[in-house]
Amino acid sequence: MKATLVILMSLVSQLASAYVGANDGWEKIFSTKSITLLYEANLGGIELKNACLTAQHVKSIKPMKYCPKLIPAKSDWVCEQWITGVYTYPRTMEKNACLQWGHNAEQNYGCLQEGVVSVTVPQTFNVRVVQTHGSYSTYPGFQKAITLPDCRN
């Protein structure tokens, strides 16, 4: 009876540690398999757990494999040469966006004026954490704020 209880408690403990919640730290979230992190910040391909910020750049904390130059191939682009090193990506960039939403003359709701806006990766932003278990998903999951470290620390 005691052996069965110990085995059952061990299984429950393992299952509980496989799930993450809003109160868990980022270290546990990053180390848990079957996690999808959704966020709007453009880190240029740098993993969230490997990103730090300077005034002008998002940088990888640890070296990573990246492609500095794409070249055209038949119907696609291919990397000219892969490099492993600390990757730097602009923190601020311009992008096309809708500047004014509303109803047009036909009373259809949509973008009335498009333009270019400057977007900067903030130091702190929200991340939606979604976990999957087979065909089951926790979507919409939960939101958790993350603060990217300063690269000088």
Number of separate domains in the chain? 1
C-alpha span between 69 and 86 (Å, rounded): 16
* Across 87-108, average pLDDT: 93
* pLDDT tens profile 107-152: 899 999 999 999 999 999 999 999 998 889 899 999 999 999 999 8
pLDDT recorded at residue 2: 52
Q: Is residue 16 a part of any domain in this protein?
A: yes
In a domain? residue 9: yes
> Cα–Cα distance between 47 and 41 in angstroms, integer?
11
Q: What does the pLDDT look like over 4-13, one tens digit per residue?
A: 443 444 334 3
Per-residue confidence (pLDDT) for residue 105, from 0 to 100: 85
Q: Between β-strands 57-60 and 51-53, what pairing exists: parallel, antiparallel or unpaired? A: antiparallel
What per-residue confidence (pLDDT) applies to 11?
A: 37
Q: Tell me what pLDDT residue 107 has.
A: 85
Instruction: Give the lowest-confidence range in 29-33, 38-42, 139-143, 149-153.
Output: 149-153
Question: Where are the strands (E) in 29-141, listed by range?
Answer: 35-38, 51-53, 57-60, 64-66, 70-73, 76-79, 83-85, 88-90, 92-103, 109-120, 124-133, 136-137
User: What is d(CA 90, CA 57) in angstroms, rounded to the nearest whole number?
Assistant: 5
> Do residues 14 and 135 make contact, with C-beta atoms less than 8 angstroms apart?
no
Q: Is residue 84 part of a domain?
A: no
pLDDT at 24 over 60: yes
Range of the domain at 96: 2-50+91-147
- What's this model's pTM, rounded to 2 decimal places? 0.76
**81 inside domain:** no
Cα–Cα dist 6/73, whole Å: 60
Tell whether 102 is covered by a domain.
yes
Mean pLDDT of the chain: 88
SS3 114: strand
In a domain, 82, yes or no: no
Share of the chain above pLDDT 90, in %: 76
Query: 62 in a domain, yes or no?
Result: no
Any domain includes 28:
yes
pLDDT at 128: 97
- Per-residue pLDDT, averaged over 58-79, amounts to 94
